[in-house]
Amino acid sequence: MKENHSININGSLFGLTTPLVMGILNVTPDSFYSDSRTQGDGEIEKRVLQIIGEGASIIDIGAYSSRPNAVDVSTKEEMSRLRKGLEIINRVAPNAAVSVDTFRADVASMCVEEYGVAMVNDISGGELDREMFQRVAKLRVPYILMHMKGTPQTMQQEPHYEDMIREMLFYFSVRTQQLKELGVNDIIIDPGFGFAKTLEHNYELMGHLEDFEIFDMPILVGISRKSMIFNLFGNTPAEALNGTTVLNTIALMKGADILRVHDVRQAVEAIKIVEKMKECTNAK
């Protein structure tokens, strides 16, 4: 039976008995889903209020697109974009729990120390900045440890695994132990759907999602409007909402604790449906 998890966010304990929704705030000009790009002050403010208003518990702000073949962005530019977004968040939603989507330790430090960001979401699992694990330990914030091979520029160049699930379990075993030894108490596992994985890899991973409960840590799933949906149907990210909701529901049934999404309301509804079903089933 899965243990009830919790994470410490800004000194408050967030229980995960009921899964949480993390709303995506992209302050980039080139994210794969064009409708999620927000750059002007008004656009950012509107998106922040939408995320909170539709029921998300966490805002995940990112300023470096991690789509395949994304153009590299300098640390200076990433920080500039984040400062703009974080200033708006702190003005219009000062009590919001905020996560920063970055693989750079210096960027993480700036966001936590200057703007009170509560969580670090690292797509590289510490691989793209060897200072990240030490820095997160020093910052004493929850850390989202994601699985990826290579970089955003190279990750989809013929990804290969002898045994994907086994390799991923080893990957997380090594890195969670390193983080624990450094004193990082709140670790969230993200299997990294769409990162260094083919269409078939992604669906194999979804089929084995419950295998990652072995770590007894919260599991985050981010499949919102990704290529595993629109490539399957031959359409576009703009047409992938229905598939996203279906996969989010499957993920919840398989133990997901946090859903990272563009479409907050639909994810909140999926959680309510799954939780109601569990409640009625357990009542018998």
* Residues with catalytic function: 226, 260
Is the distance from CB of 55 to CB of 139 less than 8 angstroms? no
For strand 20-26 and strand 187-190, is the pairing parallel, antiparallel, or unpaired?
Answer: unpaired
Q: Which 8-state DSSP code applies to residue 97?
A: E
State both tokens at 94: 């000062």
User: b/e per residue, 197-230, with b = 16+ CB within 10 A?
Assistant: bbeebbeebbeebebbbeeebbbbbbbbbbbbbb
Nearest alpha carbon to residue 28 among 88, 80, 99: 80
Nearest alpha carbon to residue 194 among 67, 72, 103: 67
State both tokens at 90: 């702190």
User: b/e per residue, 1-30, with b = 16+ CB within 10 A?
Assistant: eeeebebebeeeebebeebbbbbbbbbbee
